Structure 1
């Protein structure tokens, strides 16, 4: 495990790459709202108030009238203009987390209209069955398919939005309904989503996002554990490459912790520390056949996932329970052949 001092150093490595306008970029230089928000969450855990404030101002400046953010921005300009549903949704996770960590009611109230617009954009992309398609393109056309990982993250965001709405006395019951419908599709109709099963994220994200818990989560974990987990190193990003990645491993740590599997979570978190750099940042991944860091970069989003996993395991902030506590209400398992849903495409 790493302690608070190491966590702060890791958060400072994120602040060190923050751009002058407040955006937190990928190593290649673009900013997207999802990874940006995750980095703000990690810096909030470490108490880095000024970089976090600047990061929220970046979100406020770049949100569009429909509630979305461009997929990619470079130097403050959109270079990919479509609006991803999971990018927009994650602002709600970030704001609820910030409220838990800081208790700053005034800041939460000020940013609430931004989150409302973002989640309404997301809810507008939900299909009749319940999945949420992944984007509107630059011309405003909705995509024809949904992504399981993205929808799992959106499920958590909708639940966070409901909690924010209750805290602020501004109920949004349509978000709760959208979350319930989405949780059912995630749990009972995985065939409704584009096939990305070679990616480890599609394995654990229904648990991480809170749509699948209990016995179903345990069964899901065991089903692909040997496919993705490399003992002593972490987890593969994709099943067919000898490549473990820090962000995916730490997200699996969070999912296991949310299930109550804390021993396995701690073991995986310890395994991934081989990616830690002496300055507190983290290499994105390790190609264990060639024994090289791949790609040869240290990414802010990897550092952020490490901080959030450390917080969950060690209780470093009041937001440590975010991934444990935000989940779908328990419901009896449903028979996907008899639930009344429009059949998902084959």
Structure 2
């Protein structure tokens, strides 16, 4: 995928950005996670003005507790709970922007936003180490954690630690939280709600950096035939004949992070049937009915394509962002997690 095609795809994201800087889903709402993903993709293509408008949107819409409303329409909250993984992903975006542009001033301006967001996220961590998925509008923490969300949070915490060290404001509590979370992701599936029919729960511990090496390769092998449709991409869910572009490109990033370039490039090529002539991408393809499903082209799908292209072809200094997510992964069980080798002797 050459730079011209990448630029066209990033341009399709900029085309749907709203006047206030938010990048919406096709149905019209904005959430912080997908919004950040779209900003990262536009940054890969050098679209500086819409990217900075997007970060201004994050500054304006962040709440006092560090979170963002789950859904906003026209800048106004329509679902008021705050998701832990939405907040954490802002650290990934700001670190990515610093890597791409080298703009120290931007990073320092965004640091209070990142710090507040990750403090909100860590405030939802359990004693065992998983991080529950939401704090409701009334302040109550959710009763369970989501594996995909926690895997993304792991990357957010690692990026936040790197950003803090770079700016001279280290955050050892985040590093400890990431270590504990990484162990739970790698060793304690019982800590998470069962969403195993979703392909994201399969590859996200690798994408977010919690799993590397033989364990990661074994995890991919275990469900490869369940989710991968040769020539098309990967299924969103195991029980529906539906491949989706964003999930396929995230698996491309996970494979690239493991050094599995051949399968990464093959999958990336396979999913190009979702490309529209204007550079945007259909969200998915129902391959039994042979119809686009849903009948929409989503900015977050285009964003995942651009980030996968950067990882595969080294378009920016941030091309290793997802490979590097696992560079600091450690398996550090604590007594609270229940592992026998973590308990104190005697």
In the superposition, the TM-score normalised over structure 1's length comes to: 0.96
CA contact (8 A) 1:237 1:248 kept: yes
CA contact (8 A) 2:95 2:159 kept: yes
1:254 aligns with 2:256: no
What pairs with 1:277-288 in structure 2 (closer than 5 Å)?
277-288=276-287
Correspondence for 1:136: 135
Cα offset for 1:58?
Answer: 0.3
1:108 aligns with 2:107: yes
Count of residues paired in the alignment: 340
Cα shift readout 1:135-191 (whole Å, capped 9, x = no counterpart) = 000101000100000000000000000000010000100000000000000000011
Cα offset for 1:326?
Answer: 1.9
Cα offset for 1:330?
Answer: 5.3
Q: Distance in 1 between matches of 2:181 and 2:293?
A: 35
Q: Distance in 1 between matches of 2:208 and 2:13?
A: 24
Cα offset for 1:71?
Answer: 0.1
In the superposition, the TM-score normalised over structure 2's length comes to: 0.96
1:89 aligns with 2:88: yes
Question: Structure 1: which 5+ residue stretches go unaligned?
Answer: 342-346
Q: Distance in 2 between matches of 1:11 and 1:328?
A: 28
Cα shift readout 1:252-302 (whole Å, capped 9, x = no counterpart) = 000000000011000000000000000000000000000000000000000
Correspondence for 2:208: 209
Question: Structure 2: which 5+ residue stretches go unaligned?
Answer: none
Correspondence for 1:193: 192
Q: Distance in 1 between matches of 2:331 and 2:179?
A: 13
Quickly say closer, same or farther: Cα 1:7–1:127, change in 2 above 3 A. Answer: same
SS across alignment from 1:117 = helix
Q: Distance in 2 between matches of 1:60 and 1:75?
A: 15
SS across alignment from 1:118 = helix
Q: Distance in 2 between matches of 1:213 and 1:336?
A: 22
Correspondence for 2:153: 154
SS across alignment from 1:150 = helix
Cα offset for 1:339?
Answer: 3.9
Q: Which deviates the most, 322-331 or 78-87?
A: 322-331
Cα offset for 1:329?
Answer: 3.2
Quickly say closer, same or farther: Cα 1:80–1:331, change in 2 above 3 A. Answer: closer
What pairs with 1:241-320 in structure 2 (closer than 5 Å)?
241-320=240-319
Cα shift readout 1:62-86 (whole Å, capped 9, x = no counterpart) = 0000000000000111000000000
SS across alignment from 1:80 = strand
CA contact (8 A) 1:180 1:328 kept: no
Cα shift readout 1:193-239 (whole Å, capped 9, x = no counterpart) = 00000000000000000000000000000000000000000000000
CA contact (8 A) 2:91 2:156 kept: yes
Correspondence for 1:218: 217
Q: Distance in 1 between matches of 2:328 and 2:85?
A: 21
Correspondence for 1:344: none
1:61 aligns with 2:63: no
Q: Distance in 2 between matches of 1:113 and 1:220?
A: 37
Quickly say closer, same or farther: Cα 1:67–1:218, change in 2 above 3 A. Answer: same
Quickly say closer, same or farther: Cα 1:290–1:127, change in 2 above 3 A. Answer: same
Where do 4+ consecutive residues of structure 1 move more than 2 Å? 328-337
CA contact (8 A) 1:188 1:336 kept: no
Cα offset for 1:89?
Answer: 0.3
